[in-house]
Structure 1
């Protein structure tokens, strides 16, 4: 990651929607994207913003507007959502905003055969038939590996 930062291929910024407010935050994001000719964009995470907004509809409208504008500009966008219970079922958010995303990938931990494993599931893939399997994955220095299907019979949770 250091190499990408040094070469100007990766830029990490903290822009607080709570401090700026929704409208200024959206303007700042779009201004940055235009100036820097961004092709891929990540908001990590929308969870803290969701919990601080009193008007859920304004929060949904904000995310919808950001997502649609980035989509219009053909910018690959990832929104991350924190799941506070490490072993809970795959849940997107309390605000029910899955309509905003074309694809949703859920990551969680499972207990399987007396081990804690990382599990990945495709919750949504708009317009295509996708696997409904829960699969184990590993993150290593050389990348991410998607492993075999997790057998429900062996899961404790």
Structure 2
């Protein structure tokens, strides 16, 4: 679906409801990088470091070994602590990435950052500054975002998709006859790259997200 790949140093957002595989997609994104000899960083605001490593290991991705060998950094940050130190983290991120030598980074999830701010204007400014620091870090970055309750194609606060270079939507398809709920992936945009406009069904497997390339959802 991403015909020529995502351009390096792009900022990608994966939007989806709970259970659509956003975190799995992020882990898979880093696994591919490490398999290609790159270094990667996973920042989680939702799970403990141990739980992230365990979840990846259960899928056959040796995140425990990769962290020991120095190819992967898994960082868990308490959202409350992050609210108190967001500015310092934002300022330090480019330096930390450069020192570690990472080429890919995942932040799971940006929705928890957005929830820290009650005022929409402040939220927009803070998230803009944070995404700017991610771009300055010089890595290809994926952030995950909860979907809006009213619109599965939009993020919870409707901000992040306008600040990123690529938008991937993972969503449920619920047919009218209620026979089977399916998962579908759609690429809304990728700057400077060709991509499919089709909606494709996918499954969450032990190997990560598996898209049925030959099938379409109408």
* TM bracket, shorter-chain basis: 0.7 to 0.9
Q: What is the TM-score of this pair, normalised by structure 2?
A: 0.58
Check the 8 A contact 1:56/1:95 in 2, yes or no.
no
Distance in 2 separating the partners of 1:89 and 1:143: 21
Aligned partner (choices 128, 136, 142) of residue 64 of structure 1: 128
Distance in 1 separating the partners of 2:120 and 2:86: 12
Q: Which residue is equivalent to 2:195?
A: 130
- The secondary structure found in structure 1 opposite 2:70 is coil
Post-superposition CA distance 1:79-132 (Å, at most 9, x none): 1102365x9532123243322100000111222471122111111222445332
User: Higher Cα Rg: structure 1 or 2?
Assistant: 1
Q: What is the TM-score of this pair, normalised by structure 1?
A: 0.77
Q: How many pairs align?
A: 150
Distance 1:137 1:126, change over 3 A: same
- Confirm or deny that 1:14 pairs with 2:63: no
Distance 1:35 1:74, change over 3 A: closer
C-alpha root-mean-square deviation of aligned residues, in Å? 2.6
- The secondary structure found in structure 1 opposite 2:169 is strand
Distance in 2 separating the partners of 1:99 and 1:106: 14
